[in-house]
Amino acid sequence: MYKRVSLVASPVLLGLLWQLRNEPLAVCLCISILAGLATWCIIPATTHSFKRVGLAGRDMSKPLRPELAESMGMVAATIYLVATFVFIPVQFHGYWSTTQSPRVFPYARLGEYLSALLSLQSMVFLGFADDVFSLRWRFKLVLPIVASVPVLIVYYVGHGVTQVVVPVFLRPWMGKCVDLGVLYYVYISLMSVFCTNAINILAGINGVEVGQSLVIAISIVLKDLVYVNSSNPETEYRHLFSLYLLLPFIAVSSALYYWNKYPARVFVGDTYCYFAGMTFAVCGILGHFSKTLLLLFAPQMFNFVYSAPQIFGLVPCPRHRLPQMVQNAGPHRARRMDLHRQVSTAMRSFSKGPRRSRNAVCMVASRTLLDGATKLGLRIICIYEYLGLAHVDRNDDGTMQSINNLTLLNLVLIHRPHLTEAQLNHRILLIQLVNSSLAFIIRYQLSHLFYF
């Protein structure tokens, strides 16, 4: 089906490209759709080649654990880069057209666009290296900073604005604005680290990495469209810049989601997570809406803070923290696939859920033993347990034995342990969608309480 749709749509889009060649935003939309169709067709055609060179993995959330091609985010990222390269002459078409009076070419804007593509290309390369060599976490924290250097340099050379507006309740002590100087560049470089790794941490089931990225990207695009016809030329340019980067991203990500959603036919790999995170970071930095971007990343921030005890070694952290698969063996009995005794409570909750077919496959929160947990880690776990954020298994004398792995996916499964993998993905996307709505309410309706 995807081949027939692409063959029919491509000539139509090429015709529209020629008719709308003087409208950069319309051309960007057409190129984006072509990029999405190309991704849709090329991914199934390249899966065998990826498997042949060893880029494949087992889907641990399926009963038969099928082998799927890994790192298919590389295909989407490559097509995205090709689309954005092709768009460069279109974006600046009006500045060398002979039909108009000559204008000064905007070298600064070209530099911003090229620096964004250079950072994205660097991050795609580093993400693919992580897929191939399984880099350690200390390298994953450093590599995004290196990839963001082109954007930071262009930001410094172009305008170098390092002032931030102080909230109203702090102005008696700090004034209306504070110049952070070099600390501002530290902040935006750390934002690139956070964005790239936040999506990578909130992962583990079919479709969740691409799905959350699509919700964030569409939310930013909706915000950008409001400002496209702004009376302020600089504001209009910043949001057009964001649209030029995000429209092809949404197109290739939508095609990738088609193949990665449940039941997945391919895995996206760390390449896509880094690529998506750097795309958002570049748009937020050069588009001047980093605060709004952080609001849209609230679920990822919560997931990072929630996971911090395991990430920083306060609580034992297994290599894979993805939810465990449970196969329903009857209407009142469930059987866990790895026979781990610590999920007895989750099993009781599961047995109370709606009846499913004898072979229905569901998910429960995975767990880890607390052997080797630090005193600080155990205190944090007690706080989590008190707040209802963790399920702790204790022995007869009250000593903590195990805890659910600290991820948002497992937290959802604590309260709804009988979800299927597709339902769990939909819950995460719903959380992301509700957060986007709240982020816009806070940013545009409640911001006057803090800034005016």
Residue 101's pLDDT band (boundaries 50, 70, 90)? Answer: low
Report helix, strand or coil for 449.
helix
Query: Could you read off the pLDDT of 360-416 as tens digits, one per residue?
Result: 688 999 999 998 899 999 999 999 999 999 999 998 888 899 999 999 999 999 999
The predicted pLDDT at position 266 comes to 96
Whole-number pLDDT of residue 175: 81
Strand order in the sheet with 392-394: 367-369, 400-404, 392-394
More confident residue, 327 or 295: 295
> Mean pLDDT across the stretch 239-255?
96
| Stronger pLDDT, 103 or 266, i.e. the higher one | 266
Report the percent of the chain where pLDDT is more than 70.
86
The confidence band for 352, taking pLDDT boundaries of 50, 70 and 90, is very low
What is the DSSP track for 84-131? HHHHHHHHTGGGS-TTS------HHHHHHHHHHHHHHHHHHHHHHHHH
Q: Name the most confidently modeled range: 238-247, 282-291, 318-327.
A: 238-247
pLDDT at 328: 60
- Beta-carbon neighbour count of residue 193 at 10 Å? 19
- C-alpha 182/C-alpha 159 separation (Å) is 14
CA 147 to chain CA centroid, nearest Å:
17
pLDDT of 17 strictly over 90: no
- Of residues 117 and 144, more confidence is placed in 117
| Each residue's pLDDT tens digit, 136-166 | 777 778 888 889 999 999 988 876 678 888 8
Residue type, 39: T
Q: pLDDT-derived band of residue 342, with 50, 70 and 90 as boundaries? A: very low
Give the CA distances from residue 41 to residues 38, 255, 308, 400, in Å, rounded to whole numbers and listed in that order. Answer: 5, 9, 39, 51
Give the residue-averaged pLDDT of 167-190.
Answer: 85
Alpha-carbon separation of residue 76 from 118, 122, 269, 416 (angstroms): 16, 15, 11, 33
- As a whole number, the mean pLDDT across the chain is 85
pLDDT of residue 1: 66
Measured CA to CA in angstroms, residue 216 lies from 15, 156, 199 at distances of 31, 27, 11
279: Cα separation from own chain's centroid: 9
User: Would the pLDDT of 293 be above 90?
Assistant: yes
Phi-psi region of 388 (alpha: psi -120 to 50; beta: other; left: phi over 0): left
Q: Is the full-model pTM beyond 0.75? A: yes
Residue 357 has pLDDT above 60, yes or no: no
